[in-house]
Amino acid sequence: MPRSSGLLLSLVFLTLLGAISCGGSSSPGGGNIGPFNVVGDWQATFTANGGGSTTQPGAISSSGLAAFFDGSGNIARMPTISGANTFSGTLTAYAVNPTFFPNGTIVVTDSSQGKVSSATSIAGTFTGNGTTSGSFTMAPYSALGGPVVPVSGTLNGRIIGFVDTLQLTFLPDGSFTGTDFEGGGSNCNISGNVTQDGTNNVFNVTYNNASGACTPSTMTGLAFESKSDYFNVNGGVDASYLYVIMLTSTQASTRPSVYVIFQ
Q: Is pLDDT above 80 for 128?
A: no
Q: Is residue 148 part of a domain?
A: no
pLDDT of residue 192: 97
Same-domain status, 15 and 136: yes
Q: Is residue 4 part of a domain?
A: no
Q: Is pLDDT above 80 for 9?
A: no
Domain extent at residue 111? 11-140
Same-domain status, 106 and 49: yes
Q: Is residue 79 part of a domain?
A: yes
CA proximity to 205, closest of 170, 231, 237: 170
Of 23-27, 91-95, 147-151, 259-263, least confident by mean pLDDT is 23-27
Same-domain status, 124 and 236: no
Q: Is residue 145 part of a domain?
A: no
* Domain end point (choices 114, 140, 166): 140
Please write the tens of the pLDDT for every residue from 181-226: 987 778 999 999 999 999 999 999 999 998 877 888 999 999 999 9
Residues 6+ apart with CB under 8 A from 257: 2, 73, 75, 94, 96, 159, 160, 161, 162, 246
Q: Is residue 132 part of a domain?
A: yes
Please write the tens of the pLDDT for every residue from 217-246: 999 999 999 999 999 999 999 999 999 999
Please write the tens of the pLDDT for every residue from 55-104: 999 999 999 999 999 999 988 888 889 998 887 767 777 888 554 434 44
Same-domain status, 86 and 185: no
CATH code at 111?
2.40.128.380
Contact predicate 138/32, CB 8 Å: no
Q: Is pLDDT above 90 for 121?
A: yes
| Interval 34-46 mean pLDDT | 92
Q: How far apart are CA 87 and CA 37, in angstroms?
A: 14
Q: Is pLDDT above 50 for 106?
A: no
pLDDT of residue 32: 62
Same-domain status, 197 and 136: no
Same-domain status, 132 and 178: no
pLDDT of residue 12: 52
Q: Strand 105-107: give its sheet, edge to edge.
A: 86-89, 112-118, 121-128, 132-140, 40-48, 53-60, 66-69, 75-77, 92-94, 105-107
pLDDT of residue 16: 53
CATH code at 159?
2.40.128
Of residues 249 and 13, more confidence is placed in 249
pLDDT of residue 108: 39
| Interval 131-144 mean pLDDT | 83
Of residues 9 and 236, more confidence is placed in 236
